[in-house]
Chain A
Amino acid sequence: MDAALLSRIQFALTVGFHFIFPPLTIGMAWLIVIMQTLYLKTKNELYRTISQFWIKLFAISFVMGVATGIVMEFQFGTNWSEYSRFVGDIFGAPLAAEGIFAFFLESAFIGVLIWGKDRVSKVFYWFSALMVALGSTLSAFWIIVANSWMQTPAGFHIVNGRAELTDFWSAVFNPSTVPRYLHTVDGTLITGAFFVMGISAHYLLKKKHLDFAKNSLKIALIAALAASLLQCALGHYHAVQVAETQPEKLAAFEGAFETEKGAPLLLFGIPDAEAETTRFAIGIPKLLSWVAFGDFNAEVKGLKDFPRDEWPPLGITFTSFHLMVALGSYFILLTLVGIYLLYSGKIYTHRFYQKLLLYSIPLPFIANELGWTAAEVGRQPWIVYKVMKTIDGASFTVPAVQILFSIIIFTAIYIVLFSAWIYLLRKKINDGPGESLEPGKEVTI
């Protein structure tokens, strides 16, 4: 196999696996800040128990994000050295800024959060939780700056055979940074809130730790509803930007081959690049034109308007985008029902709804991965949109066999780590809040 393809597989593997964890921990970090704030305000010990329990699960997941994130800082150099040479003048800056302004902040205060609850004052402990949430949210900002610059590059010119910076703030706030950042961060809130809701529902189903579970569920449900509703607006905002700045990506999302006025929004379909048509299409007439441009008769560019060799892979882009939207709609529906059940007092006894919450835990993770897939596969064949092709960015000094080797080891390591993570989560959830292990008590696994 050729080295560039293997590098793409490895990049997808390492980023895709890493991207399981930060959305969870960023979302949870803000919920923990809310819980800590409630504890400081009410002095109710229940909120202390609540936040301590979620900090435990948070810590187990946070280290997974840290461990798998180390790779991110180096793999542009190892596998994408031609890309690094070409864009280093711009692309390195957000990565360095992420270290200076985000990694230091979150990593210094996570130490306090995990190890320092008996060493620091309550207020400083609360402040540490806030700094961890802030640090991880800033980290998301800088990495999305870097990634958005690949989608909609700005603030540069090409000289000396490379892209050089001409305007730092234009590069940072390139056309897609803000919509993509807000959309992604809101996704983390949904992920964290669904995680907390699902596990709380699990305790309700088991009739254990009821006070704990009811209060956790309430906090998380309100957050989940707000974040899910907001995502409708933010997702829309992002789609409008894609329509303007990356029209062929929008066409791939929607399986639109022909340029037309009053284009339909497809609910289902199978795009066929060979036949240049989307089969089994079921759509709502004119809605895409309205969603993308605010006008039922606006013209939406179809794929046929673009050179064939600049089409993104259609099947993956179309499917991942549509599944993500479907999941987003499900999140709104589920949380709306939840709020109704909460205010009618039925939520703590409604076992079917509690089961739904429990089994919905993985769905926001899947939605995150789908959104990332749609965004990045939809950018192909470019590594930097309209500036550099992915194929030209790979390292050509690294033999394919070495990349194959590292893919195999990464896969093996990630299987082990993922199993350990799930095992620990289950164990901590079974132990429940407020019950710590007795030292010296040995159990076998």
Chain B
Amino acid sequence: MTLETLQAAWFILVAVLITGYALLDGFDLGIGSLHLFTKTEEERKTMFYTIGPFWDSNQVWLLTGGGAIFAAFPMVYATVFSGFYLALMLLLFALIFRAVSIEFQHLVPCPRWKRAWDWGFALGSILPSVLFGVAMGNILRGIPLDAEHNFTGSFFDLLNPYSLLLGLVSLAMFTMHGAAFLAAKTEGPLEEKARRWGRSAWLAYVPLFLTGTVWSYASTPRLFENFFHQPVLLVLPLMAVIGMVLYPTALKRDKWKPFMASALNILGVLGIAAASLFPYLVPSNPDLANSLTIYNASSSQLTLTVMLILALTGMPLVILYSSYIYKKFTGSAKTHPTVSKINFPG
């Protein structure tokens, strides 16, 4: 394979890993963001239970995405993570607390103990959901880079209104996704609540998404060029819109359809982001010439080849055993015998 093909293949693979993260961890982040909306102990317990077996492997998509960026595009790894230092530290603090909250909350039957970890879980989910969008917003509009590709802005430059708006978009998007997963996995009052929460999140999401799209066009028309050159890419916005449109009606009665609709929407949205960036990885704004692209930020041909072989042997295996385990745990969390006894581990 030529170097250019490999670079494009790795662009796609990194996009797949990030999209996989959004699809999978998206729902457990969403459930975390909704965690404090119910006050009853039983319902919070059930919310933990629905994601208990999955959240850890879902999060691995993010870690593997980080590793893949390091391996395939080390210049991006170096520029973005050092440039976004404080934002990334906030993300890490949130993810650390969140992980421990999920596993520790149910281990001690003391209200004060539980309250503390409930908050850890909720804030540890809301913050990453918002930061995901903020990071995406900054990458899309571009960040100030010098000729050596070093970030020349500050932490507060990252908190610009456009990126904050995208932060809200991703918060609403993951909340919709989490609510749909919760509605599918539970029964009774919690299921009803999940459907209501999903609807509210959708009501927030649609105007936020539309505003974001218009703002992107007004501020950064470069993002739309690929779609004019390659009309086949229009399938991505189509997916996003179909998912968005189907979601509220599916949410009224169906079990898994709302989740599928939300997943389709996420696929579309992340696809749009990737398609509008290509071949840029980190556009420089204002000096587009200083940008990191798949061509000037990548590893060598040998590394890209070796890593492609590793990824193409490893990832099918991952998908195989992960989906097998997902199947083992399918079914409603409430109807399962272990949950009626609240048979929590530990």
Residues of chain A touching chain B, judged by Cβ–Cβ distance below 8 Å, are: 56, 59-60, 63-64, 66-68, 70-71, 73-74, 76-79, 81-82, 84-85, 87-93, 95-101, 103-105, 107-112, 114-116, 118-120, 164-166, 168, 395-398, 402-403, 405-406, 409-410, 413, 417, 420, 424, 427-428, 437, 439-445
The interface bits of chain B over 66-79 (1 if a CB of A lies within 8 angstroms of the residue's CB, else 0) are 11111110110111
13 residue pairs of the A-B complex, CB under 8 angstroms, read A63-B100, A63-B102, A73-B63, A78-B81, A89-B300, A92-B70, A96-B64, A99-B63, A104-B314, A111-B57, A115-B49, A116-B329, A444-B110
Contact B68 A99 (CB under 8 A): yes
Residues on A with C-beta less than 8 A from B69 are 92
Contact residues in A for B95 (Cβ distance below 8 Å): 67, 70
**Nearest CB of A to B23, in Å:** 15
The interface residues of chain B lying within 8 Å CB-to-CB of A84 are: 70, 74, 77-78, 81
Chain B residues with CB under 8 Å of chain A are 49, 52-54, 56-57, 59-60, 63-64, 66-72, 74-75, 77-83, 85-86, 88-89, 92-93, 95-97, 99-100, 102-104, 107-113, 150-152, 155, 299-300, 302-303, 306-307, 310-311, 314-315, 318, 321-322, 325, 328-329, 336-338, 341-343, 345-346
Whether B343 and A108, one on each chain, are in contact in the complex, defined by CB atoms closer than 8 angstroms, is no
- 8 additional A-B residue pairs with CB within 8 Å, beyond A78-B89, A115-B49, A420-B100: A63-B103, A70-B92, A92-B70, A97-B67, A104-B57, A405-B89, A409-B93, A439-B342
Task: Name A443's contact: one of B109, B318, B345 (CB within 8 Å).
Answer: B109
Residue in A closest to B311 when the chains form the complex, CB atoms? A100
Complex interface: chain B residues within 8 A of A67 (CB): 95-97, 99-100
B100 to chain A, nearest CB (A): 5
| A96-B78 CB under 8 A given contacts A60-B346, A66-B99 | no
* Chain A residues near B346 (CB-CB < 8 A): 56, 59-60, 114, 428
* Smallest beta-carbon distance A138→chain B, Å: 11
Contact A413:B107 (CB < 8 A) given known A108-B322, A118-B338: no
CA distance A292 to B249 in the complex (A): 74
Question: B92–A76 contact, CB under 8 A?
Answer: no
Is A413's CB under 8 angstroms from B60's CB? Answer: no
| Structural contact, A59 and B345, CB atoms closer than 8 A | yes
What is the distance, in angstroms, from B75's C-beta to the closest C-beta of chain A? Answer: 6
For the complex, what is the distance from the CA of A265 to the CA of B54, rounded to whole Å? 52
B229 to chain A, nearest CB (A): 31
**Most central of A64, A76, A92, A396 by chain B CB within 10 Å:** A92
Q: Which among B52, B86, B109, B337 has the greatest number of chain A C-beta atoms within 10 A? A: B109
Report A-chain residues with C-beta under 8 Å of the C-beta of B303.
89-90, 92-93, 164-165, 168
The 8 closest A-B pairs by CB, nearest first: A88-B74, A77-B81, A99-B64, A92-B71, A92-B70, A111-B53, A96-B67, A100-B314
Chain A: interface secondary structure?
A: helix
Q: Which residues of B contact A413 (CB under 8 A)?
A: 93, 96-97
When C-beta atoms are compared, the residue in chain B nearest to A438 turns out to be B109
* A100-B300 contact in complex given A78-B85, A92-B72, C-beta closer than 8 Å: no
B300 touches A107 (CB 8 A): no
Contact A98 B67 (CB under 8 A): yes
> Within the complex, which residue of B75, B322, B328 is in contact with A120, where a contact is CB–CB below 8 Å?
B328
Which of chain A's residues have a CB closer than 8 A to the CB of B97?
67, 413
Question: Closest chain B residue to A93 by CB distance?
Answer: B71
Nearest CB of chain B from residue A435's CB, rounded to whole Å = 12
Is A78 a contact partner of B88 (Cβ separation < 8 A)? yes
Closest residue on chain B to residue A57 by CB atoms: B346
Q: Cβ of A115 and Cβ of B310 under 8 Å apart?
A: no
- A402: chain B residues at CB < 8 Å are 85-86, 89, 155
A406–B89 CB distance below 8 A: yes
Q: Are A112 and B68 interface neighbours, CB within 8 A?
A: no
Q: Are A107 and B64 in contact (CB-based, < 8 A)?
A: no
A101-B314, A424-B104 given as contacts; is B96 within 8 A of A81 (CB)? no
Select one of A81, A88, A406, A445 contacting B108, CB under 8 A: A445
Identify which of B63, B88, B97 gathers the most chain A CB atoms within 10 Å of its CB: B63
